[in-house]
């Protein structure tokens, strides 16, 4: 990754504890629930990987690259048929035993591509945090 660009979300407060959130987000079959209706197509998922299509981006492939029990999940992926990216979910419990999550995305982007996709990436991260904050079915995992 020669042209690494980093993006970081705000911290979101979730309705479940870190252990429950970790169990949910380490199964990629659950992630379709966070996508707003009509934003993705051709969803295919297994426990450790998924792929889907997004307008103007094409096929996106994501796989779990690493995890630290109840605190971090690292996803690697590719989009636009060449751009590698890493997305890290940082999970922690607050004093009320509810998880907080922050998303960090690093992508291999040349300067022109960075100018074009920075705003959509920031919007995606805000949408993801918002969807996770409003989500209430953390215990209902896909099997």
Instruction: Please give the residue that has the higher pLDDT: either 69 or 36.
Output: 69
Tell whether 99 is covered by a domain: yes
Tell whether 28 is covered by a domain: yes
What integer best gives the mean pLDDT of the chain? 90
Tell whether 140 is covered by a domain: no
Residue with tokens 């215990």: 139
Asked if the model's pLDDT at residue 4 lies above 70, the reply is: yes
Tell whether 142 is covered by a domain: no
Tell whether 15 is covered by a domain: yes
Number of domains into which the chain is organized: 1
Tell whether 62 is covered by a domain: yes
Tell whether 141 is covered by a domain: no
Tell whether 125 is covered by a domain: yes
pLDDT confidence tier of residue 26, bands split at 50, 70 and 90: very high
Residue 34's domain spans which residues?
4-134
User: Which residues, 6 or more positions from 89, have their beta carbon under 8 angstroms from its beta carbon?
Assistant: 25, 72, 73, 75, 101, 102, 103
Tell me the mean pLDDT in the region 118-138: 91
What local confidence, expressed as pLDDT, does residue 65 receive? 97
Chain centroid to CA 101? 11
Q: What is the pLDDT of residues 44-101, one digit of tens each?
A: 999 999 999 987 778 999 999 999 999 999 999 998 767 689 999 999 998 888 999 9
CATH number of the structural domain spanning residue 99? 3.30.530.20
CB atoms within 10 A of CB 107: 24
């Amino acid at each position: 990754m020669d042209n690494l660009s980093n993006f970081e979300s705000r911290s979101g407060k979730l309705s479940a504890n870190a252990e429950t959130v970790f169990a949910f987000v380490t199964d990629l079959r659950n992630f379709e629930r966070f996508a707003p209706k009509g934003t993705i197509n051709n969803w295919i998922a297994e426990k450790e990987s998924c792929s889907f299509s997004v307008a103007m981006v094409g096929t996106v492939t994501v796989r779990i690259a690493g995890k630290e029990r109840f605190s971090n999940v690292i996803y690697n992926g590719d989009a636009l048929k060449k751009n590698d990216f890493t997305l890290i979910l940082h999970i922690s419990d607050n004093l009320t035993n509810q998880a907080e999550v922050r998303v960090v995305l690093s992508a291999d982007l040349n300067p022109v591509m960075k100018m074009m996709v920075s705003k959509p990436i920031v919007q995606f991260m805000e949408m993801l945090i918002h969807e996770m904050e409003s989500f209430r079915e953390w215990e209902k995992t896909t099997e």
